[in-house]
Amino acid sequence: WVLMVTAQTPTNIAVIKYWGKRDEKLILPINDSISVTLDPSHLCTTTTVAVSPDFTHDRMWLNGKEIPLSGGRYQNCLRELRARASEVEDEEKSSSAAGFACLVFSLAKPKNVKEDQSKLSSIARQGSGSACRSLYGGFVKWIMGKEKNGSDSVAVQLADEKHWNDLVIIIAVVSLRQNETSSTSGMLETVETSMLIQHRAKEVVPKRIIQMEEAIKNRGFPSFARLSCADSNQFHAVCLDTSPPIFYMNDTSHRIISCVEKWNRFEGTPQVAYTFDAGPKAVLISHNRKTAALLLQRLLFHFPPNSDTDLNSYW
C-alpha cells in the first residue's frame, strides 16, 4: 500500500432525528437534523484505511474489524475524494476528526485535499448520512438542502464544544444484540409505507429545528429536553407506522422513558432528556454533573446489576 492511516472520529447523537431520504444514492435527507458531538476522548470510532497505489486494493477496518469496501457507498465516497486529491505527500499521517467521516478525513488529509469542512461533510454524507455531523464538535445541524445534486446538503456547526459544556451525556447500553433492521433499510421502508413520516418531515421538524436552535443558543435546558424527548418519541412512532412496523426500543427502553418522565414531572421542570436511535440503548442528557450523579443512582436502583433488566454499562 501507498499508505495506511488510522484516525478517530467522535460519535454524534441526534436530538432532532434524520429519518428518511429524498435521494438514496446521494444520501440526501427529507428533513434537517441536529446533533451533539461527544467528546472524542470518551467515545469515538477508530478507522484504519490502507490505500493501494492504483486504488484497486484499498482496505478499511472499523474499530479493528475489517469491513468490505465493495459497497457502492464507499466507492462513491472514495471517487469523490480521489477526484479532489492532489499528490500524496506524506507516508504516514493521522488526524483526529463515526466511521465514514473518519475515512474522509484519513484520506483527505494525507492527500492534501484542500476542501473546506462543508465540502468534506458533503463527501462524508455520501458514506453514511449521520456521519457528516461528526465533522464538527459541539452542536451541529445537517441542512437537508434543496439541490438535486446535494451540493447544499451540508453540516454546519451551531455552537462549539465550549458553548454548553456543563451538559452530561450518559449512555445506558440496554442490549448488546445487533439491531434487527439497519437504519438504511428502516428509513427506506418508512418512506415507502408510512403516512406519518410526511407530516413529520414537512410540518413538525421544520418548527422543531427553529425551537431547538433557540434552546441551544440560550442554553435553555427545559426546552432542549422537551424537544429532544418529543423528537425521539416521534421518530419511534414513525417506525411503528412503518409496514411491517419496526421496533427499535424494548421493555427496558420503555421503562427508562417512564422513569425519566416521572422524575421530570415530579420536579416540575425537565432534569434529564432521553433520546433513542435505531436500537434500544438510551442516551440520557442531564444539565449538570449533580443531576447526572442522581440519574446514575436512579438507574442503579431501577436496573440493578445482575438483575433481569441489568444495563450492561453506563458511560
Q: Which residues bind ligand DP6 (CB under 6 A)?
A: 14, 17-19, 27, 33, 128-130, 183-184, 277-278
> Which lies closer to ligand DP6 via its Cβ, residue 111 or residue 133?
133
Please report the beta strands in the chain, taking only residues with DSSP state E, as ranges in sequence order.
3-10, 12-16, 21-23, 28-29, 33-37, 44-51, 59-62, 65-67, 139-142, 155-159, 168-172, 272-276, 282-286
> Which lies closer to ligand DP6 via its Cβ, residue 17 or residue 109?
17
- Quote the least distance from Cβ 252 to ligand DP6, whole Å: 18
The residues pairing with 272 across neighbouring beta strands, listed in sequence order, are 286
> Which lies closer to ligand DP6 via its Cβ, residue 121 or residue 128?
128
> Which lies closer to ligand DP6 via its Cβ, residue 192 or residue 267?
192
> How many alpha carbons lie under 13 Å from residue 101 in its C-beta half-sphere?
28
- Quote the least distance from Cβ 208 to ligand DP6, whole Å: 13
The DSSP bridge pattern shows strands 139-142 and 3-10 to be: unpaired
Among 300, 217, 223, residue whose Cα is nearest residue 264: 223
C-beta of residue 159 within 8 angstroms of C-beta of residue 141? no
| Phi–psi pair at 253, nearest 5 degrees | -60, -45
| Cell 436502583, residue located | 301
The 10 Å CB-count burial string (b at 16+, else e) for 89-116 is eeeeeebebbbbbbbbbbbbbbbebebe
Long-range interactions of 201-205: CB distance < 8 A, separation 24+: 201/20, 201/30, 201/31, 204/234, 205/16, 205/31, 205/32, 205/231
Among 192, 274, 208, residue whose Cα is nearest residue 241: 192
- Quote the least distance from Cβ 183 to ligand DP6, whole Å: 3
Among 230, 241, 216, residue whose Cα is nearest residue 160: 216
| Residue number, nearest CB to ligand DP6 | 129
> Which lies closer to ligand DP6 via its Cβ, residue 112 or residue 250?
250
- Quote the least distance from Cβ 100 to ligand DP6, whole Å: 8
- Quote the least distance from Cβ 290 to ligand DP6, whole Å: 29
From CA 229, how far away is CA 43, in angstroms rounded?
A: 22
> Which lies closer to ligand DP6 via its Cβ, residue 129 or residue 145?
129
- Sign of the torsion formed by the C-alpha atoms of 181, 182, 187 and 188: negative
- Quote the least distance from Cβ 301 to ligand DP6, whole Å: 29
- Quote the least distance from Cβ 34 to ligand DP6, whole Å: 9
> Which lies closer to ligand DP6 via its Cβ, residue 190 or residue 291?
190
- Quote the least distance from Cβ 166 to ligand DP6, whole Å: 24
> Which lies closer to ligand DP6 via its Cβ, residue 33 or residue 252?
33
- Quote the least distance from Cβ 167 to ligand DP6, whole Å: 18
> Which lies closer to ligand DP6 via its Cβ, residue 3 or residue 132?
132
